[in-house]
Structure 1
Amino acid sequence: MTSPKASHASVKADASQAFSHKLSSVADAVEAFLAERLGPETQAGEITRPVRLMEAMRHAVLGGGKRLRPFLAVETARMLGGSEAGALAAGSAIELVHCYSLVHDDMPAMDDDDMRRGKPTVHKAYDEATAILVGDALQTLAFEILADSAWQPDPSIRADLVLGLAKASGLGGMVGGQILDLGAEGRFGAVSLDVEDTLQLQAMKTGAILAFSVDAGALVGGATPDQRAALWRYGLALGQAFQIADDILDREASPEAMGKATGKDKDAGKATLVDRLGIDGARAECDRLVGICEEAVSAWGDKAQTLREAARFTVARKV
Structure 2
Amino acid sequence: MDDDTATGRLLWHVTLRWRAAVDRAVAPLGLTHAQYSLIASLYGLTRRGGQPTQRELAEFAELEPIYVSKLVRALADSGLVTRTAHPTDARAVQLGLTEQGLQVTQAAIGVVHALQHDLTQPIGGPASPRNRQLIAILKDLLGAPPGQPDGSQAMTTTPTLTGQDVAEAQGALGALLDHVLANADVSGTEYVTFRVITARGPWATHRDLSSYLAGQPQLRLDPQAAAALCAGLVQKGLVSAGEPVALTDGGARLFADLSETVRRTTTDIYAGLDPADLATAHNVLATLTDRARRATTPAN
Same fold (TM over 0.5): no
Larger radius of gyration: 2
| Higher relative contact order (Cα pairs below 8 Å, separated by 6+ residues) | 1
TM-score, scaled to structure 1 = 0.28
Determine which structure has the larger helix proportion and give its number: 1
TM-score, scaled to structure 2 = 0.29
